[in-house]
Amino acid sequence: MSTTGAMAHVTVKSPEQMQELGRRLAPLLRPGDLVLLTGELGAGKTTLTRGLGEGLGVRGAVTSPTFVIARVHPSLAGGPPLVHVDAYRLGGGLDEMEDLDLDVSLPESVVVVEWGDGKVEELSEDRLHVVIGRAMGDDGPEEALAADVDDVREVTVTGLGPRWADAGLPALETC
């Protein structure tokens, strides 16, 4: 069982801010990092990944890989490639994902898996888990009331394992 390292909570008020969060998170990532994205349909998982791709300086438009399951975006800046996986249509665990060769890609890439909860955790003891939830109007933070409630998201970024013990995640909270 992985231990929890650093954690950050960020209120995001627009898709542009979600993409900016991805750009701000990218410099903390390095080859071998596994990032799990959790959130309902339309929560902003792909938008966050688009920002990660921009921050990592990768080639190609980062779009949802739902129908192709995975896309590889090579780096244009000499950094790690971004492997973007959408496990939504995959029902099984790691066995079903074996054909994607994520274990082979992981050491030299940043692997981002949407809908990966319960499916890819075995790939790495060290991983970053990003949970995106919708703000709920009057039940949410005051910031949600001042913005378009449909766009406001509460994002929790949790580092699991020794790799994330002191990785600078709390700095993300100063959006």
pLDDT digits (tens, 9 = 90+) for 11-24: 999 999 999 999 99
pLDDT digits (tens, 9 = 90+) for 27-77: 999 999 999 999 999 999 999 999 999 999 999 889 887 677 788 899 998
For the whole model, what pTM was predicted? 0.84
Written in H, E and C, the secondary structure of the chain is CCCEEEEEEEEECCHHHHHHHHHHHHHHCCCCCEEEEECCCCCCHHHHHHHHHHHHCECCCCCCCCCCCEEEECECCCCCCEEEEECCCCCCCHHHHHHHCHHHHHHHCEEEEECCCCCCHHHCCCEEEEEEEECCHHHCCHHHHHCCHHHCEEEEEEEECHHHCCCCHHHHHCC
Average pLDDT, the chain: 83
